[in-house]
Amino acid sequence: MMVVSVKRQYLRTLILLAIFVAYLLGGSAIFHAIESKDEEENINKTKVFTQELQQQFNLSDEEFAYLVTTIRSNPYIGKMDRKWNFTQALFFSTTVVTTIGYGVLAPSTEAGKGICIIYALFGIPITILLYQSVGDIINAFFAYLIRSFKKTMGKVPRVRNLELGIFDGLLTMTFFSGGAATFAFLESWSYLDGFYYCFITLSTIGFGDYVALQKHNHHMNHSAYLGLCIIFIMLGLAVVSSGLNLFIRFTMEITTTDQTKKEIDKTALKMITLLTMTNIIIHACICYNLPP
């Protein structure tokens, strides 16, 4: 029995590895094709603009190249505003413990780097425990709603994973749509960019190409906006994790034991996948067909 289980584990890992490598290569081909074409166009456009700029300021190629390199290598040139005020430090700390790590702010001192490592080491587990705890409360609340509804309908008040998955899916959709619209409004982005920001943030990828709270905002004062951002991130991670917990419970149970297999509602995962696909299609329509 043990040997079979180990063999199965190896086979499973090999299959996953094959899928992973194929997925990476496929993705790279697509991103390379799309983005390099756009990059080429931008570089060509910029070449003309660069020449005009050089003529305007009477700079030789060498002088201009030296200026560009110098300005790029020293982020303090031309920066009037202090970046490391308390508000931004609070936003920075949030991006560390959530592992979003936009990188618009990062420690540059040796002490800062060392403290950042220790800070993350204890902060990440605390944060995961917190938003998973909030996620559990959300699921408990949904279970309570479903049970109450079934009772009033005279049915057996049993909550199935499928029903919980649908509620989680709907909440996630609402959260992403609402977040996208809110950030698009507050940061003057298109709806696609707002949605992209929400996704890149709540998936904790955090590229740092779109980051809230970076410009002097006209709509809200800074502290209120910071509070909104932190609450959005933490609640969003709770919402995503409450949905993800269903998925993890599902995969953990099929990989570790066969005993509890019967308990799992396989249709739950199918429905969640279906909901996700519907979500993608709806948003694709909003983002690409309607004017931003």
Window of 1-9, 100-108, 156-164, 222-230 that interacts with K ion by CB under 5 A: 100-108
If the CB atoms of residues 98 and 166 are measured against a second copy, the closer one turns out to be 98
Residue 101 touches K ion, criterion: CB under 5 A = yes
Window of 67-75, 93-101, 212-220, 265-273 that interacts with K ion by CB under 5 A: 93-101
Residue with tokens 């609450």: 231
Residue 135 touches K ion, criterion: CB under 5 A = no
Binds 227: which of K ion, a second copy, none (CB < 5-8 Å by kind): none
If the CB atoms of residues 95 and 139 are measured against K ion, the closer one turns out to be 95
| Shortest CB 71 distance to a second copy, Å | 5
Which pair of structure tokens corresponds to residue 51? 């020449």
| Shortest CB 31 distance to a second copy, Å | 5
Binds 123: which of a second copy, K ion, none (CB < 5-8 Å by kind): a second copy
| Shortest CB 16 distance to a second copy, Å | 4
> Residue 8 to residues 13, 16, 112, 116: CA-CA distances in angstroms?
9, 12, 46, 40
Residue 206 touches K ion, criterion: CB under 5 A = yes
If the CB atoms of residues 167 and 196 are measured against a second copy, the closer one turns out to be 196
| Shortest CB 187 distance to a second copy, Å | 15
Residue 157 touches K ion, criterion: CB under 5 A = no
Binds 267: which of a second copy, K ion, none (CB < 5-8 Å by kind): none
Binds 201: which of a second copy, K ion, none (CB < 5-8 Å by kind): none
Q: Are 183 and 215 in contact (CB under 8 A)?
A: no
If the CB atoms of residues 45 and 160 are measured against a second copy, the closer one turns out to be 45
The interface with K ion within residues 15-34 (CB under 5 A) comprises none
